[in-house]
Amino acid sequence: MTSRIAIVGSGPSGFFAAEALLKSNLRLQVHMFDRLPTPFGLVRSGVAPDHASIKGVSRVFDRIAEDSAFEFCGNIEIGKDISLNELRRTYSAVVLAHGAAADSKLGIPGECLPQVFSAGQFVGWYNGHPDFSDLRPDFNTENAVIFGHGNVAIDIARMLLGDPQKFRKTDIAEHALDSLRGSKIKTVHLVGRRGPLQASFTTAELRELLLKMEDMRVEIDAAALHLSSSEADELSKPANAVAKRNIDLMREVADNSHQAAASKLLLISFFESPLEIRGSTKVEAVSLARNVIVNTPQGKRAIPTDERREISAGLVLTSIGFRGRALPGAPFDRLTGRIPNQNGRVQLGDGSTAPLYAVGWIKRGANGVIGTNRADAAETVACMLSDYTERKWLEPDLVNRGKHALPPKSTSFHDWQLINQAEISAGLAVERPRVKFTTIADMLDVLPQRQAR
């Protein structure tokens, strides 16, 4: 008898889970749901447009989707179009792979002012995610501030300071390309609340930002790069090898003034926390407190001192991490923004409902690169297969009896291929790799069955 597995989310973790399941010796059908008509999660809507080679991982997912036991059910939001409880009554097992799309908040006054955007909103906007096509960031300002010292903050800095002409050769959304062409941004402040030892950049991304940008000068808070003897000891530990490479790189760049005539400036500062974002009708300035790092039982903490400074800025981006969203019917830990699980096992069924599993960012939190999700999915699938052996999946005849029809608005992988082709063709006409559709209506419009209605 064939077992049916539902996977909620078509990002890397969902696809790697599908791959591991389809490679098992079980007779399976895998149905992958996504709230968008397009698959691939953050590979399409998160990874920076100028990182085309990373987006190339979608070819691996294409091959997984070719398996005849695999079916993509796009444009279906679980929790809205179909409830999780319904899935748990009609599938043998359910895998939650819906990512961590909510942005962490600063929780300071002024965070809701116009022209203050979270990384999730801004990245979604330049990548053409339909949720953010109306964002309208205003680049008619010389100064922008980015809060956060991670790779997403680096991506955003590259987009703000890069040459828009070069973005033409990427799959950046057309609306973003148009806006960035008229950008007056000259200075970007990259502000972190802790020190260079704690920054979570990877060296390749940092190198790209510091050494490969044209017409851009870099200034780094040199005092922060002078480490105390205890910090230097910490830096020499093997666990801090990435931080050491980053600090060596930043020291090299801080001593280097070869781009003195550049028209754009990147300022990297450490040990500063935002206290308030000020402005009347839109953001005008941010007020910062100088921090000290103290050891607490929970680890190193940045504590604000009385030292203050203000930066004037017409655009503020917050890039301080992502959290999962609760899915009705699934347990959720509000503190961590994750689904509580043991190696991917969330809840066993009660005989009339399927067991529930988690993979990817919703399982372990918003960390790790695309490849991290493969090992993560393998761990969850190992639990699933062991539960199958112990007959903990919902029995297939129960599953088949309750089998429901998909809502008619559901899109297939073939539909996605038509959308993909239409985007590539639109790109050919303007010598770009693709022109993305940025609304669900426009995506559905290219599908023949919708046009016939």
Ligand X SMILES: Cc1cc2nc3c(=O)[nH]c(=O)nc-3n(C[C@H](O)[C@H](O)[C@H](O)COP(=O)(O)OP(=O)(O)OC[C@H]3O[C@@H](n4cnc5c(N)ncnc54)[C@H](O)[C@@H]3O)c2cc1C
Q: Other CB atoms closer than 10 Å to residue 445's CB: what's the count? A: 13
Q: Which two tokens stand for residue 272?
A: 């500063």
Q: Does 62 bind ligand X (CB under 6 A)?
A: no
**Per-residue burial over 390-428, b = 16 or more CB atoms within 10 Å of its CB, e = otherwise:** eebbbebeebeeeeeebeeebbbbebbeebbebbeebbe
Segment interacting with ligand X (CB under 6 A) among 40-48, 182-190, 291-299, 330-338: 40-48
Q: Does 36 bind ligand X (CB under 6 A)?
A: yes
Of 110 and 128, the one with the shorter C-beta distance to ligand X is 128
Nearest residue relative to ligand X (C-beta): 11
Segment interacting with ligand X (CB under 6 A) among 41-49, 235-243, 297-305, 350-358: 41-49
We find the least distance from the C-beta atom of residue 128 to ligand X, in angstroms, to be 13
Of 154 and 435, the one with the shorter C-beta distance to ligand X is 154
Q: Other CB atoms closer than 10 Å to residue 91's CB: what's the count? A: 26
Query: Cα 288 vs. chain centroid, distance in angstroms?
Result: 27
Of 344-383, binders to ligand X (CB under 6 A) are: 360-361, 368-370, 373
Q: What is the DSSP string of 132-187?
A: GTT------SSEEEEE--BHHHHHHHHHHHS-HHHHTTTT--HHHHHHHHT----E
Q: Does 129 bind ligand X (CB under 6 A)?
A: no
Q: Does 10 bind ligand X (CB under 6 A)?
A: yes
The β-bridge partners of 348 are: none
Of 190 and 225, the one with the shorter C-beta distance to ligand X is 190
286 to 138, 312, 441: CA distances (angstroms): 17, 6, 38
Q: What is the DSSP letter of 389?
A: H
Q: Does 11 bind ligand X (CB under 6 A)?
A: yes
Q: Single out the residue of 328, 320, 386 nearest to residue 355, CA to CA.
A: 386
- In 179-233, which ranges are E strands? 187-191, 216-220
Of 135-164, binders to ligand X (CB under 6 A) are: 152, 155
Q: Single out the residue of 151, 133, 269, 140 nearest to residue 203, CA to CA.
A: 151
Of 203-242, binders to ligand X (CB under 6 A) are: none
Segment interacting with ligand X (CB under 6 A) among 3-11, 135-143, 223-231, 307-315: 3-11
Question: Of 13, 141, 269, 318, which one interacts with ligand X (CB under 6 A)?
Answer: 13
Question: Of all residues in the chain, what percent are helix, strand and coil, respectively (each to 5)?
Answer: 35, 20, 40
Of 177 and 224, the one with the shorter C-beta distance to ligand X is 177
We find the least distance from the C-beta atom of residue 450 to ligand X, in angstroms, to be 20
Segment interacting with ligand X (CB under 6 A) among 5-13, 206-214, 298-306, 349-357: 5-13
Of 325-344, binders to ligand X (CB under 6 A) are: 327
Of 35 and 323, the one with the shorter C-beta distance to ligand X is 35
Question: Of 4, 6, 12, 31, which one interacts with ligand X (CB under 6 A)?
Answer: 12
Of 51 and 450, the one with the shorter C-beta distance to ligand X is 51
We find the least distance from the C-beta atom of residue 10 to ligand X, in angstroms, to be 5
Tell me which residue has tokens 């920076």.
Answer: 48
Q: Which two tokens stand for residue 338?
A: 């994750």
Of 64-103, binders to ligand X (CB under 6 A) are: 77-79, 97-99, 101
We find the least distance from the C-beta atom of residue 34 to ligand X, in angstroms, to be 4
Q: Other CB atoms closer than 10 Å to residue 275's CB: what's the count? A: 17
Residues near ligand X, by CB under 6 A: 8-14, 33-36, 41-42, 46-47, 51, 54, 77-79, 97-99, 101, 123, 152, 155, 327, 360-361, 368-370, 373
